[in-house]
Every structure is written in C-alpha cells, then in structure tokens.
Amino acid sequence: MSGSTFGKILTVTTWGESHGQGVGAVVDGCPAGLEISEEYIQSFLDRRKPGQSEFATKRNEADAVKILSGVFEGKTTGTPISLVVYNTSQISKDYSNIKDVYRPGHADYTFSKKYGIRDYRGGGRSSGRETIGRVAAGAIAMRILEQFGIEIFAYVTQIGDIKADPQKFDKEEIRKNPLCMPDREAYVKASDYLKGLMEEKDSSGAKVECIVKGMPAGVGETVFDKLDARLAYAIMSIGAVKGVEIGDGFDVVNSRGSENNDEFYMSGDEVKKKTNHSGGILGGMSDGSDIVLRAAFKPTPSIYRKQSTVTEDGKEVEIEIKGRHDPIIAPRAVVVVEAMTALTIADLLLLDRSKDIY
Amino acid sequence: MSGSTFGKILTVTTWGESHGQGVGAVVDGCPAGLEISEEYIQSFLDRRKPGQSEFATKRNEADAVKILSGVFEGKTTGTPISLVVYNTSQISKDYSNIKDVYRPGHADYTFSKKYGIRDYRGGGRSSGRETIGRVAAGAIAMRILEQFGIEIFAYVTQIGDIKADPQKFDKEEIRKNPLCMPDREAYVKASDYLKGLMEEKDSSGAKVECIVKGMPAGVGETVFDKLDARLAYAIMSIGAVKGVEIGDGFDVVNSRGSENNDEFYMSGDEVKKKTNHSGGILGGMSDGSDIVLRAAFKPTPSIYRKQSTVTEDGKEVEIEIKGRHDPIIAPRAVVVVEAMTALTIADLLLLDRSKDIY
Amino acid sequence: MSGSTFGKILTVTTWGESHGQGVGAVVDGCPAGLEISEEYIQSFLDRRKPGQSEFATKRNEADAVKILSGVFEGKTTGTPISLVVYNTSQISKDYSNIKDVYRPGHADYTFSKKYGIRDYRGGGRSSGRETIGRVAAGAIAMRILEQFGIEIFAYVTQIGDIKADPQKFDKEEIRKNPLCMPDREAYVKASDYLKGLMEEKDSSGAKVECIVKGMPAGVGETVFDKLDARLAYAIMSIGAVKGVEIGDGFDVVNSRGSENNDEFYMSGDEVKKKTNHSGGILGGMSDGSDIVLRAAFKPTPSIYRKQSTVTEDGKEVEIEIKGRHDPIIAPRAVVVVEAMTALTIADLLLLDRSKDIY
Amino acid sequence: MSGSTFGKILTVTTWGESHGQGVGAVVDGCPAGLEISEEYIQSFLDRRKPGQSEFATKRNEADAVKILSGVFEGKTTGTPISLVVYNTSQISKDYSNIKDVYRPGHADYTFSKKYGIRDYRGGGRSSGRETIGRVAAGAIAMRILEQFGIEIFAYVTQIGDIKADPQKFDKEEIRKNPLCMPDREAYVKASDYLKGLMEEKDSSGAKVECIVKGMPAGVGETVFDKLDARLAYAIMSIGAVKGVEIGDGFDVVNSRGSENNDEFYMSGDEVKKKTNHSGGILGGMSDGSDIVLRAAFKPTPSIYRKQSTVTEDGKEVEIEIKGRHDPIIAPRAVVVVEAMTALTIADLLLLDRSKDIY
C-alpha cells in the first residue's frame, strides 16, 4: 500500500497491525523546543482505550506509548519523533473461523482483492488499533496548536435518533459519561438504546462534532488544499466515517443565500461575523470564527448475529463473529477526530508561516 | 498560496483569475497514446458554461480551450498537457463598489487576511471560473478511465426541499433539463421554486450525487489515502461544497450494524454484495459495487439583496452586489463533481498498478 | 511522464515541447506582495537566448514571456503565477531524416522505449527549450531571495582543458564575454578552442560554477532533504549535466580530515569558518559561508559529423544532423544553473520559516 | 526538521538518534508477496557494522534489526514495514568536552543555528547511525529489484591518490578486503596509506562507484525527476558525500561530442550502445546499459588531532575529539550507496508501471 504518510510539513507516517509486534507513528516536521513526554501522549491514548465502560470492549490493552526518538531532555529537538505502542494483549487465538471468510462491513474482501495476501488476525492493518498512531501524533500537533492559542475538542451529538440538545450543551459533561455526549439526558437515553441493541446482538452508528476555538483567519490554501478539503480528507480517512460536513453542512441544501451568508460587522477593531453558517471557513481559509465539523460513524460492523457471506475460495457460508466488540464506534473515536483535526490544522498553520517573508 | 496541485501520479496544477489573462491547468502523469482533442475537452467545458438557461448567468463566455502541449498528432505523448482558456468576455467594469468591501459568504475577507493583497475583480482566484481547469483536466482523466471500462456521471438530487424521486430516476433526463435533475417532475417543481427565489433576490442550495460504474475492487490505499478520503478531499475542495458523504452517508448515524453491513454472496465466480450501503468502498478500497457519493452545495452567496458587511478599513456598510448571478450553483457544478471524481479515481488506479510487479 | 513539478512549498510545474504551441511554467507557493513584471523575467530569459554569439545558434527566437496569472497591479497576489513563452520561430521543417532515427547522445531512444510515441520535432520535451520554464520560474525565486539579501551567480570555469584562473576572477567579466567566463584570458583561449572544434564539426563539454552569497545558517533539512542533496537533484535535472559537486567536491577523495575540516573562529559576535572546504553546507544545512557548487556539462550531442546509429524499426544507419547547433551548451546554461539553485534555496528557506512558531 | 521521507511510491521514513532508544525506518508502498526476514535485512546491516576491521571503530554494536509490521508469515502484506534497531551499546559517557563545542566538519553548529537545541550525544540525528534505516530499507528495495532481474553493487575505487585499476577489477575481491576495493593491490597500498594516517591522527577521503546491471530502458521521468537527478539527490543525501557523477561525470568537461556520444547498433533484435559514456542514462531515462555512478566521500571529520573551534557561547577553544573514529568513511558507506541507489530505482520502476494502462 501507499499513502501511510499524512501532511505536508508536519507529517505523520503510521504503521502496524492489530496482532503484529505493535503499532506506531513517526512524526516529522515538528518544531524544536516543545515539551513532550510519554505521560502527555499517554493521556490522549487513554481516551481511546478499550475496556473503560460497558460500551467498550473488555480487552485489557495497556497501550503504553514509548518515545524512541526526537525528544531530548523533555523537549522536541526538531528531528523525527518515533512513537510506538507494543502489542501486549493480542493473544494468539483461534482465527480459523474468520481466516478465510470475508466479514460483511469489513475490509477483508477488499484487502484480499488488492494484495492477494492479508494478515487476518484481528483485522490486521484495518483494525481500529491503527488509530493509535493517529492519536499519538495528534497529541504532538495539539502541543503546536497550544502555541497559537488554539483549542480543539469533539463529542458525540447523536446515537441512533437520540440527539444531544444544543441548548443543554455542557462541555464538562463530555468527559464524564462513557458515550462522550455533552448532554447528560441524551446520554442516559442513548445508554438505554445501546443496551437494547446489545441484547439484540446489534450495533449503532453515531455523529461526532468537533470544534476548533482560537483559530486565526487566513489559514488554508485557496484551491485544492482548502482547509475544509484537508479536514474532509483527514476525517474521512478514519475507518467507519461515511460523511463529513463543515458548518451547516448538508442543511445548506435547504437553505437560501440570504440565510446562509454570514454578515460581517465590526467589534472594536476586529471583523466579526453575526452568524457562523460557514463553520469558520470561507473560500477554503479560516475566517476567524470557530471551526465546526461533523462526522458520521457507521455502526460497528462486527456483530454477534449470524450473517451471510462468502469464503476466499468462493463458498457461501454463515458466520458468527466471536470476540469482544463495541456496540458503537464513535465514543472511542472522539479523540481520533480531535487528533486528525489537530494534525490538519497544525500542518496548514506551519505552511502558512512560509507566506510571510518580509 | 500553495496547494494548487492535485494528485500524486496523475497530477493537475491549476492557475488563473476570473479577470486575468485566462485560466488553465497542467496535467502531468497522463499515460501516452490516449486520443485527446480540443473538441473532446470542450464538450466537458460546455456543460459548465454560463448563459445556457434562465438559471445560469447570461455572460457570453466562449470558454474555448486550447491544448498547448503534450498532445502530438491527436494523441497524448506522456508529457505534461497544458490547457488554457483565455478570458475574453471579462470586460473591465467598475468594481469600485466591491473593491474594498468584504462580500458576505465570499472569500474576500479571508483572502485579504491571508495575503494582504487581492485581485478583487470578479472574485479573482476564488471565482467559479477556477473550476475550468478542473473540468478540462477531468476530461483527460475520463479518457484514462475509459480504458478500464469505468463510467462516471453526476446529477442534482435536491434543491431546497424538492427531491428527485429515486423511483423515477431517468439517466437520460439529466442532460435534458437545465437543473440536471434525473426526475422531470422534480425539475419542474425546482424550477418554480428557483423562479420564486429569483423574484425574492435570493438563491438556493442543492445536493449533487455522483455514481461511478465499472469500478474494479481493491483501488484505494488502506490508511490515509483511502479512496473515500481522497474523494472527500477532492469534492470538498470545490468551492461552495459544505458536506460530502459516501454510500448511506449521514444516514448511518441512525442505522444498525445488521442493516448497514452489506452481505456477500456469489454470482457465478464473482463475489457480490446484496446491498450497497457502503457506497462501493470498504476499508478505504473499492469493493466492486458502484461508488456513490453526495455533495452539499451552499446557496450562491452573491445575491441582489442588500446585505450588511464591513470594508477593508473597518467601516460597517451595506452592499448590493450588481452583476449577473446564478440563483443556484449546483447544476453548473455537476460536471465539476464528475471531474474531481475522475481525477481522484484515475490517480489511485494508476498508483494501484505499481503494486503488481510479478 | 511524471515529475514535472519541482519543490515542496515554492513549486514550479513546467510544460511544453520545442515545436508545440509554446513552453511554460506555473509557479505556486510564491508569497504575495513581490514586484514581478514581464520585463523583469525577460531579463533572465534573454541570457539563455540563442543567436547571441558565434557559439550560439542563430535561430531568431523571440522568447517573449507572458504572465497569465498571479500578478495584479505589478505585484504577486499569492496565487499561482502562470508564465508562457509561445513558440514563434519553430517553423515546420522537414524532419524526415531524424523522425525514425535515434540520435546518439539524445533522448530519442529512451523516449521511444518509455512511451512508444514521441514528438520528434526538435527534441520535443527533451529540447533545450524546456529550460525556459525553469529560468522564468527562477527569476521569481530570485525575487524571494532578494528579501533575504541572498545573491546567486554562476559562470563557466572550464571548457575542454582550458580553465579560468581563480586568481584572475573578475565578476564583471562574466557578462562581457559570450562564454560567461570570469577570466578574459581563459575566454580568449576557449574561444579559439571552440572555433577549432566547429571546423571539425565537433563540440565541447564545460564546467559551470555557482556561488550563493548572503546565505543564513541553518537552511536545509538534516537527512534526505539536505540542502546539498536538493541542490544535486536540481542541478542534475538540467539536461546534459553529468556531475555535481559541493565545496571541494571530488577533491575530497584525495584530502585529509586535518585539511578538509573548516575550523571555526569568532569574528566579533559571529561564528565564522577559517576556510570553506565544505562549500557552505555542513550536515545538510547551510553554515553561513558562501555556497559553492559545480556542474559538469557534456558536449552538445548534436554534431554535424556523420554518426552510426539505428532506426526505430531496427536498421543500422548513418546520420548527419542538420540544423543549427551550439558547439557548447554551458554558456547558455549558466542562467539555468542559477535558476535551479534559486528555486531550491527559496523552497528550503520558505520551509525553514515553519520551524519558528514562538 | 522535515524531509525525513524519501521516495514517491516506495517511500522510506527514517528516524533515530545515535544515543536515543534506537534508529529505524518505515517502508511504505512495498508490493505484497515478497519474502522478507530479519536475517535477510541483517545481512545488509552487517556490512555497515563497525568493529569489523582495523579501519573501523571497535564499538560492539549488535545492530540487530527487528521487523515490527508489514510482514506476515514471511511475506510482505503490502502494508508499511516498520524496522527498528535498538541502541544497545551507546553507553552514557561523558560528553562534557563536546557538549557545548562545535566540532569542525560536523553538523553541530548548523544544528544549533537551525533548532536552538540539539542532542549532542554522539552526533544525535547527524550520526552515521542514521544510515541504518537507509540500509534496512534498501534491503527491501533490493528484493523488489530482484523481481526485475536488477543487480546493484558498489565498491571503493580510490582512497587518497591510490586508485583501483579498472583492468584488475575483481568483483569477488570487493567483499574480501575490509576496504571494499575491487583490486587487491590497490587495497594493500591503501591499507598502508591509512595506517600511516592513523598514526598521524588523521583521516582520508575516498571515491565509491556503484553499478546497476539488468536495468530495463525507459525508467526515469523526463524533466525534474530524471533518473540521474533522483540518484544525485539520493547519493548526495548520504552524510559526507560532496560530489556525485554519472557515467563519464566530470570527465565530460574535457570531452568532445564525437567522443562522448554513444553510437547505437543492433545486436539481433536489440538496440545496443557501442560505448557507455552516458552511464546508462539518456534524457533522464535508463538506456538499457549499466548504470554507473560515483560518489566522493570526505575524510572522517572526527580526528584525534587538536583543532581550533568555538563554543556555543562564543568562546574560541581547542578540542581533541575522544572516542573511536574510523580513519575513512567510505568502506562502511558502500552498502549505503547501494541502498540509496536501490531505493531510487525501485521507486522509479514502480512509478513507471503506472504508464502502461492498455
């Protein structure tokens, strides 16, 4: 495969399979002098760890990150930062029932068609463990963004048809409930909904929203490397994401110019917008308002129900996927959305510095 | 700016301002031996031309493409193909009313913040004319895809709250009505809706759907350069797009694993899927089904209504934007969506050939 | 083909065949606000023009550059700068004698093997006219470097075995003689040598040296994108170059550590080097001394002598190449070496700005 | 820093400091199905290991490579291959004498100017240990090249003024003597020369030549990404290289067109060249002859002699560099030259496959 490197100036190259030696990332282009420690990165990784609630798998993955290079006496030196999480709990189990079978909703079939060979253990490269490298790298991007006073946070706004009420948005609540919803009432309902699905051996999709605060205006490139285009690329590259929107997103279809245009006004010396239908991006560049993006996560494809499928040698069979599966992907992916957003914005911010040469 | 080049193997670099000397594109990495003529490319450009209906501006833009290099005796030689459309009808008019003013919903403000200088004539680089280079390059990508038996077509599925009925889908109809809708009844309703908006000096958003038929399985790279991620990047880079979805898109939020998983079955020797919720992409690779993507286009930001805004030197003013504006962007963007889809898929297909070395 | 784009932040994409519609370049990533005019760029192009001396072809190429985009009211706007030189004097002549024949020392054979098709008129894409795009883009890079107080100039130091004497180096002389040598005596000798070769229907190789003054320390990336590596790439990409060296170059083979190491000393507050064996680059980064590089240009492969070769369909034949050929490539390539050096350094300088975020 | 990734399709990203946790590489874009084992890669690494002769440092570096991903059941799966060599023998010693001092000929000064911070232990990122990642990745590239019947080997042709005699070229001899010279007599002389230098606490430069056999014609891209340009970039990116040449290299300066042109002839059905002055590359593409390149390696900058230099805080001092230093770099760099050549050619070969779509 190709395309395991993300970014232009701040780049991250990820590697690793679910049941290989480990998963990791190499972050290049990070400015020197930033404080980075294993503890700091671990705090991000811990948010995507399994086994933390009834809605997450019970695997006891330590997921302890090691920094192998690029940090000296607690600070980045400007050289590539190599990060690794060794696989410790991926016990060799019996894969005979899925080894030759294409699980519906998974990449087994496409992987076989592309390469002719695949590491069938736990999804291999297409496992959710692949996001560990993204999150570790995203933690470094966040450190860069701190220098610019930029803050990023994401949360789950919808599970099934249960929506968080924007009027009841409570940022503190996000980290208090295992579904990362910013509205406790919605969480309670969603929790019941998921329990019902688990009994039915089923899973649910969800919507994640991400906010970027403190964004300076003018970041992003005007044509192909628009800030929104790069964000769409970053977010859609997360496994299970089937849709991305910025600002009003798909609601613009049913909107009018007179509603959708954000009028400008002066707030002291500063240009401000009366509304933020644009989601903080105009013409591919940040407009100084909060960036607002949303991602649609499909339901976990691994379900306990019996499903029809085919084998590698073309036989129709039924499978029941054993093991431990989350009934929902989104809560553990919240930190992944934040990480990909941070990597995108940090990259374009660093690129933006090249324009000012006087 | 940066980021005016799209693609990794088949690359396109676009340039040009609305009221400069012209707009163009350089296509590199195109295989040799393909038949390409100005007439062929022109047939694509003509589909995005203004002045073709009551819903498109009346500007008499010839938009005649010239091939400056890379084609010899009617065939591509493998060298870069330089394409140009000279600006002929962009008569120098009086821009004094918008020269120093940030039009709401446009890139004027962000452009000023980024560069400190901008070509205010007709939107400059952020004009819709920028898409000419994309469409011309897309025509070349389509030629490559023909070799693989791949077909791409797009259409408008929704304008305001008027939706084309999938049951009445008529591919022939798409090119028969000026709104590019595949359902004549929906077109008639949407037409009335738009006329009403025009009277109200307003504009509408719309949804565009694009289908890729004949796609082989296994195209796309597994992690960052997933086929869907690259498509999201390509489509979101089109001005006015605020959302992109693949397959069931945002509907997955309210779906279950048991519904969303597409079960596999055998059709003779071939692996097929019973449904196509995935939109033809699994694990970032094509799965052999039709690729289905959708884009949300915001309403034309240039409206005749009076709007509040500010000037470059910080004064609050009201503007009325003169000139000719389409009440809707999407119909002229249909061919742009096709072009960006073609460029993305051709690029990943060519990349895919590198994997087979035996 | 691929690889028609050079650079990472400041990029140039070139296109065009010798006898097509024209040759050109698109420069992306150029900061806004720089003064650029057609006259300014033309002054660089005029230095590579043919027909200026007895050692250059008499073709009357106007080579007049047009700026098609990216410059507004005399200044760069930050958007891509499209530059074109239309081919005007490439009169359609009879190519029947070389159309199917592989000229020795030329790219005819390799081009045929790679693409199966080629534009045989005047070398097509492999013509020396391809360098027009490089020089035009290099002029823009020079404007960027001026902001940093950086100056670049090149000259011919050796033709056959006639060497310019470093003791007699006279910078003014470089532009006074048509061989661009910095030592008048050497020029006179080389001139006689070349006249003799012309009588023998032969051609000569030459060495070009390039100096970069005013270079700040620390530019260049430590591992693969070392400043010297990127310069070697840039210079070796010029047709006819067969060798590149930095500082002492190949003389280091016969040197010792005690000689080759440049000792540091203090000059007031500044760190200086007693010598400059390194050619201004240590560990891939500029060390604050002048950058010194050298390129070896092979003799013009087009000679009037009869040569043995083969045809496309495998017949052994003898050819005499008609037309006008320079007996030496290097003097007209001096400005190309400067251009590629400027593009490389400007790109790395802009990249270097991304590292300072505090 | 940036630029730690090399290649376009077959990419390698390296990381690691001399005295950090380890050094490594991530290889992406490698086709699936190739046999790769730790033993195989180790056999390449062992050739650059120190402590193997009297001319190489006595450090007992195990340099044992581990494959962390991308290989399953002995074969590549198409996913990124993560390779690591943990630093085991880099015992923490006293660096107080060089910690604040800029060693002449080293990157200490430039590193400090660029980043303001540096890992001074053993050269940090600029250590020769950085080449471990290159060699490990190069071993994988060699596996790809085997599929195409391509062989690459390099050797030392000159040390000081002692040259291997091309008439006495003995390929077997290269791996028999610790200086990797293909001529035993030259080796014996060079050996004496080096012993003398060691007594004088000095070091020597050297020249390395690399041959690529079995190269198909037409590989390389015509303008910037010429095969020779990419090779020059690859080879010059190796620390200590100050010059690169292809074919006749700098000798072309004193050559004539009638000598330098390689005439074509037919050998059965095949086009052949009577000579190989071009070094196997014409117009940036391989011409089917052996590729011949040469690199000039500077003398080891670490010498035991007292040298004048300055400290970070601007004091002039004298230093004697302790530790174990090789009196010559080139013999251990032979395998690095091979690796960089292999990576370059494999990358362009894979790219070349994208051109054939019929």
- Residues of chain A with C-beta less than 8 angstroms from the C-beta of C353: 353-354, 356-357
Q: Is the pLDDT of residue D59 over 60?
A: no
Query: Which residue did the predictor score with more confidence, A207 or D94?
Result: A207
User: Quick check: helix, strand or coil at residue A169?
Assistant: coil
The mean per-residue pLDDT over the stretch D254-282 comes to: 97
Question: Residue B222 has what DSSP assignment?
Answer: S
Strand pairing of D11-16 and D5-6? antiparallel
At C80-101, the pLDDT tens digits run 999 999 998 666 566 777 789 9
The mean per-residue pLDDT over the stretch A170-198 comes to: 97
Of the ranges A154-163, B112-121, C249-258, D101-110, which one carries the lowest mean pLDDT score? B112-121
The mean per-residue pLDDT over the stretch A18-24 comes to: 93
Q: What is the CA radius of gyration of chain A?
A: 21
The mean per-residue pLDDT over the stretch A44-73 comes to: 82
State the helix-helix crossing angle for B131-147 and B38-45, rounded to 10 degrees.
120
ipTM (interface pTM): 0.97
Residue D214: pLDDT band with limits 50, 70, 90: very high
The mean of the pLDDT values for chain C is: 94
- Residues of chain C with C-beta less than 8 angstroms from the C-beta of B2: 9, 11, 28-29
The mean of the pLDDT values for chain D is: 94
At A273-306, the pLDDT tens digits run 999 999 999 999 999 999 999 999 999 999 999 9
- Residues of chain B with C-beta less than 8 angstroms from the C-beta of A114: 217-219, 285, 352, 355
Q: Is the pLDDT of residue A233 over 70?
A: yes
Of the ranges A54-68, A255-269, B288-302, D102-116, which one carries the lowest mean pLDDT score? A54-68
CA B194 vs CA B177, B189, B281, B299, B303: distances in Å:
14, 9, 35, 11, 13
Q: Tokens 């027909």 label which residue? A: C51
Q: Is the pLDDT of residue B132 over 80?
A: yes
Chain-chain contact of B9 with D354 (C-beta, under 8 angstroms): yes
CA dihedral over B135, B137, B143, B147, signed as positive or negative: negative
d(CA B78, CA B71): 8
Of A152, A208, A151, the C-alpha closest to A181 is A208
Of D175, D210, D207, D176, the C-alpha closest to D296 is D207
Give chain A's contact residues with C (Cβ, < 8 Å): 8-9, 29, 31-33, 78-79, 144, 147-148, 222, 350-351, 353-358
- Between A204, A242, A257, which is nearest B301 by CB? A257
CA A5 vs CA B315, C349, C353, D4: distances in Å:
45, 23, 22, 11
Contacts of A248 (CB under 8 A, 6+ apart): A255, A260, A277, A278, A279, B242, B298
Chain-chain contact of A15 with D79 (C-beta, under 8 angstroms): yes
User: Which site among D12, D14, D71, D77 would you substitute to test the A interface, given the most A Cβ atoms closer than 10 Å to its Cβ?
Assistant: D77
Of B353, B347, B324, B314, the C-alpha closest to B101 is B314
- Residues of chain D with C-beta less than 8 angstroms from the C-beta of B350: 354, 357
Q: Is the pLDDT of residue A91 over 70?
A: no
At B63-73, the pLDDT tens digits run 899 999 999 99
Q: Tokens 């040569």 label which residue? A: C307
The mean per-residue pLDDT over the stretch C33-56 comes to: 88
Of A126, A189, A142, the C-alpha closest to A47 is A142
**Backbone dihedral angles phi then psi of residue D287, each to the nearest 5 degrees:** -110, 10
Chain-chain contact of C236 with D229 (C-beta, under 8 angstroms): yes
Of D295, D338, D72, A9, the C-alpha closest to C236 is D295
Q: What is the pLDDT of residue A93?
A: 66
- Residues of chain D with C-beta less than 8 angstroms from the C-beta of B144: 357
- Residues of chain B with C-beta less than 8 angstroms from the C-beta of D35: none
Single-letter amino acid code for the residue at D205: G
Q: What is the pLDDT of residue A117?
A: 87
Single-letter amino acid code for the residue at D28: D
Residue C51: pLDDT band with limits 50, 70, 90: low
Rama region for C235: left / alpha / beta (φ>0; ψ in -120 to 50; rest) = alpha
Residue C148's CB is within 10 A of a number of other CB atoms, namely 15
Residue C49: pLDDT band with limits 50, 70, 90: confident
Contacts of B31 (CB under 8 A, 6+ apart): B76, B78, B144, B350, D354, D355, D356, D357
Residue C23's CB is within 10 A of a number of other CB atoms, namely 28
At B173-222, the pLDDT tens digits run 999 999 999 999 999 999 999 999 999 999 999 999 999 999 999 999 99
Residue C23: pLDDT band with limits 50, 70, 90: very high
Provide the token pair at D132.
């471990």
Is residue C12 within 8 Å of residue C6, measured between CB atoms?
Answer: yes
Query: Which residue did the predictor score with more confidence, A51 or B335?
Result: B335
Q: What is the CA radius of gyration of chain C?
A: 21
Chain-chain contact of B119 with C77 (C-beta, under 8 angstroms): yes
Residue C323: pLDDT band with limits 50, 70, 90: confident
Of the ranges A122-131, C148-157, C336-345, which one carries the lowest mean pLDDT score? A122-131
Of C2, C297, C342, the C-alpha closest to C139 is C342
d(CA D140, CA D138): 5
At C251-270, the pLDDT tens digits run 999 999 999 999 999 999 99
Is residue D144 within 8 Å of residue D30, measured between CB atoms?
Answer: yes
Chain-chain contact of C104 with D217 (C-beta, under 8 angstroms): no
Q: What is the pLDDT of residue D97?
A: 73
Å between D288 CA and nearest CA of chain C: 9
Q: What is the pLDDT of residue D60?
A: 55
Residue D51: pLDDT band with limits 50, 70, 90: low
Is residue C273 within 8 Å of residue C262, measured between CB atoms?
Answer: yes
At D304-328, the pLDDT tens digits run 999 999 999 999 999 998 877 889 9
Q: What is the pLDDT of residue A141?
A: 98
Q: Is the pLDDT of residue D93 over 80?
A: no
Query: Which residue did the predictor score with more confidence, C219 or B358?
Result: C219
Q: Is the pLDDT of residue D50 over 80?
A: no
Provide the token pair at B341.
């889809």
- Between C23, C72, C82, which is nearest B15 by CB? C82
How large a percentage of chain D has pLDDT more than 90? Answer: 84
Q: Is the pLDDT of residue A328 over 70?
A: yes
Chain-chain contact of D243 with C249 (C-beta, under 8 angstroms): yes
Q: Is the pLDDT of residue B115 over 90?
A: yes
State the helix-helix crossing angle for A131-147 and A38-48, rounded to 10 degrees.
130
Q: What is the pLDDT of residue B99?
A: 85
CB pairs under 8 A between B and C: 167
